Amino acid sequence: MNVIGAVKAYVEKITDETEPGMKVLLMDKETTSIISMVYSQSEIQQKEVFLLERIDSPNYANSTGLRYLKCLALLRPTQQNVELLCTELRNPKYGAYYIYFTNIIAKADIKLLAEHDEQEVVKEVCEVYMDYLAVNPHLFSIGIPYCLERLSWNQNALQRTVQGLVSLLLSIKKSPIIRFQSNSKLAKELGSRIEDVMNKESSLFSFGPLGHSLLLILDRRDDPITPLLNQWTYQAMVHELLTINNNRVNLSNIPGVSKELLEVVLSAEQDAFYAKNVFMNYGEIGQNIKQLMDQFQAKAKSHQKIESISDMKNFVESYPQFKKLSGNVTKHVTIVGELSSMVNKYQLLDVSEVEQEISSQNDHSTHLSEVKKLIQNEKIRHSDAVKLVMLYALRYQSHTSNETYNLIELLKKRAVPDPLLKNIIYLLEYAGSHARQSNLFDVEDAVKITKRFFKGLSGVDNVYTQHKPLLHDTLEDIVKGRFKDNLYPVVNNHSSGLRAQDVVVFIIGGATYEESLTVHSLNKNYANFNILLGGTTIHNSKSFLEEIENAFKGEDMRLRKHTRHLRNIRFD
């Protein structure tokens, strides 16, 4: 089960099936993202694809065609795309068309297309199942930033998520048992919708007997902590501080950044340094980047003195690698430099230490005073101050001497903007203790105590990486066969079947890179298990809070149920 491999295999198939010749790849907005997650432009050029076009761009319809090109159309099976394709076929811009839909398409749409192909340019019409964004081999996203509407499914988002997951299951050839988080209506609805499709398309889903694989649908509301924390592993950190959008990082805000670095691509498939350091922590990356620079300097030095012909020859022969290396060096040095300047400027180490302690220890008075101290620190960002209060409020929600009210007063004194303060209410309404089925904080079973104990003894544990996402415990329960039927029932009350070793976990409301690392480490430690993680999107704290805020649009927050006592944040 490797999602990047799965998407690549489909693209491979598509390009191999078409006759040789110059090709243009015709895509829509979403398939462009799907492809760009796994292929670079120069890679796709080696498959004779020399032009990339967007069927939904406003200029496309009026642009001139080149009849000597073959057109590979890779499109989502949407109404709009079918219509655009019909117009295209009536006046074809290219000599031949090979049409691939990334998901199941209705027969009526095929008929409609066939009726418009008057010049007989279409050679192939086919469904390939790659309707999702493959982020890492074990991580995928549907690419929906806001999936909720007044705390229920936005119907478009639900439809898109069903399509995404159905295509994912097909691409990895699984017809799983579906289980869902029992307290989540969203999870239940999604689960039964997927099962409906699987039943309807049973001929497609005929991958041997049921029960060898599991699709587990979770709700972000059960763990609001993980997306709020500052992160210290490379990928997660870059996403939290600089935001990764479809493998791309916008660096244009960095002063004095060179032109080719305005937007950089971080792809583990094409960038060996990144692949090696994706899960390394901040300290290790610092060291590795130094090594990389030394390596580069040594190479650059050897290239400086080209005296003999053989020097010249060596230079020319190693030049492509040299250039690649130099591109990587400047990219990662710039990124790491920016990260470290942000860490210092906003005192993120101090912030993170308190965040981690609140998330994994229980010490009300210490935590309260630490949070207070940081709120009064002028150097930390408003957003970090607010997130600390959020963590405190979630952690000690039922504590008798809860001081959230006073902390909000302190935030007001620091002139934190109103929308940020409102986020505290949104978060507590979204994922306060009333909305969670798992004990986020008080899971103090023997195993956990043991672990903490030994962490203390060996002294290896890093204060900035104490927190383990709830997902870690959930998955460990699956691995150990302790999974509870009442908390995670099977869709339509089927029997839970065999102990599945292929597990797809999907989080409604977005997964995080910290959870991605958790899944990756479990995959490595339990060789028998193969776990994939997916989410409606991949969140950092900012996008997570935006999604929650959006989920309450249209709700009258004056009638809020769980945070009335926090009267100092007003919605009028």
Subset of 156-175 contacting other proteins (CB under 8 A): 170-173
- Which string of DSSP letters, residue by residue, matches 198-243? HHHTTTTT-SSSTTSEEEEEEEGGG--SGGGS---BHHHHHHHHH-
d(CA 275, CA 298): 22
Least Å distance between CB 86 and other proteins?
13
- Figure out which of the listed residues 120, 196, 263, 294 binds other proteins, where binding follows CB under 8 A: 120
Site string for other proteins, 186-225 (x = CB under 8 A): ------------------x---------------------
Should residue 530 be labelled a site residue for other proteins when binding is judged by CB under 8 A? Answer: no
Between 258 and 361, whose beta carbon lies closer to other proteins? 361
In angstroms, the CA 3 to CA 381 distance is 37
User: Which of 25, 75, 122, 538 lies at the binding interface for other proteins (CB under 8 A)?
Assistant: 122
Side-chain-side CA neighbours of 81 within 13 Å: the count stands at 22
Nearest to 162 by CA among 210, 110, 217: 217
Kindly state whether residue 405 participates in binding other proteins, applying the rule CB under 8 A.
no
Q: Which x/- pattern over 469-508 shows residues binding other proteins (rule: CB under 8 A)?
A: ----------------------------------------
Shortest distance, CB of residue 282 to other proteins, whole angstroms? 14
Query: Per rule CB under 8 A, is residue 511 in the interface with other proteins?
Result: no
- Two tokens at 384? 């970090």
152 token code pair: 């229920």
- For residues 109 and 78, the answer to whether their CB atoms sit within 8 Å is no
Chain residues 352-391 in contact with other proteins, contact rule CB under 8 A: 361-366
Instruction: Indicate the length of the chain as a whole number.
Output: 572
Considering the complex, state which of residue 122 and residue 491 has its C-beta at the smaller distance from other proteins. Answer: 122
Q: Does 33 bind other proteins (CB under 8 A)?
A: no
Of 172 and 440, which CB lies nearer to other proteins in the complex structure? 172
Report whether 282 contacts 343 (CB < 8 A): yes
Containing H/E element for 71? strand 70-75
**Binder of other proteins out of 119, 258, 291, 295 (CB under 8 A):** 119
**Gap between the Cα atoms of 528 and 502, Å rounded:** 9
CA 184 to centroid of chain Cα atoms = 21
Which member of 453, 492, 495, 498 binds other proteins (CB under 8 A)?
453
Residues in 283-322 that interact with other proteins by CB under 8 A = 284, 316-317, 319-320
Binding residues for other proteins restricted to 34-93, rule: CB under 8 A: 42, 45-46, 48, 50-51, 63-69
Measured from the CB atom, the residue of 181 and 226 that comes closer to other proteins is: 226
Per rule CB under 8 A, count of chain residues that contact other proteins:
96
| DSSP strand pairing (70-75 vs 152-153) | unpaired
How far is 21 from 69, CA to CA, in rounded Å? 7
- To other proteins, the closest distance from the beta carbon of 361 in angstroms equals 7
Annotate 144-172 with DSSP letters as a single string: -S--EETTEE-HHHHHHHHHHHHHHHHHT
Q: Which of 88, 127, 370, 514 binds other proteins (CB under 8 A)?
A: 127
Stretch that binds other proteins, among 25-33, 111-119, 239-247, 542-550 (CB under 8 A): 111-119
Instruction: Rule CB under 8 A: say whether 12 interacts with other proteins.
Output: yes
383 CB neighbour count, 10 Å cutoff: 16
Position of tokens 């008798």?
Answer: 400
How far apart (Å, rounded) are the C-alpha atoms in residues 449 and 457? 12
Burial class (CB in 10 A: 0-12, 13-18, 19+), 184: buried
| Min dist. Cβ of residue 20 to other proteins (A) | 6
Report the residue number, 128 or 142, with the smaller CB distance to other proteins. 128
Residue type at 521 in one-letter notation: S
Q: Which of 417, 456, 484, 495 binds other proteins (CB under 8 A)?
A: 456
3 state SS for 302-319:
HHHCCCCHHHHHHHHHHH
Q: How far apart are CB 560 and other proteins at their closest, in Å? A: 27
Give me the least distance between CB of 70 and other proteins, in Å please.
11
- Choose, by CB under 8 A, the member of 524, 558, 561, 567 that binds other proteins: 524
Tell me: does residue 463 bind other proteins (CB under 8 A): no
- Shortest approach of other proteins to residue 44 CB, angstroms? 9
For residues 169 and 186, which CB has a smaller minimum distance to other proteins in the complex? 169
CB environment 131-157: b (16+ within 10 A), e (fewer): bbbbbbbbbbbbbbebbbbeeebbeeb
Considering only residues 227 through 256, tell me which ones interact with other proteins, judged by CB under 8 A. none
Binding region for other proteins (CB under 8 A) out of 126-134, 409-417, 499-507, 546-554: 126-134
Question: 172 or 394: whose CB is closer to other proteins?
Answer: 172
Candidate segments 140-148, 218-226, 268-276, 405-413, binder of other proteins by CB under 8 A: 268-276
Nearer to other proteins, 282 or 346 (CB): 282
Contact status: 327 vs other proteins (CB under 8 A) = no
| Residue 265 interacts with other proteins (CB under 8 A): yes or no | no
The dihedral built from the CA positions of residue 516, 522, 523 and 528, taken in this order, carries a sign that is: negative
* Rounded CA separation 428/422 (Å): 10
Q: Which of 13, 265, 268, 33 is nearest to 137 (CA)?
A: 268
Up-side HSE of residue 332: CA atoms within 13 Å toward CB?
30
Among 33, 54, 56, 110, binds other proteins (CB under 8 A): 110
- Contacts with other proteins in 427-446 (CB under 8 A)? 442, 444, 446
> To the nearest whole angstrom, how small is the minimum distance from the Cβ of residue 432 to other proteins?
19
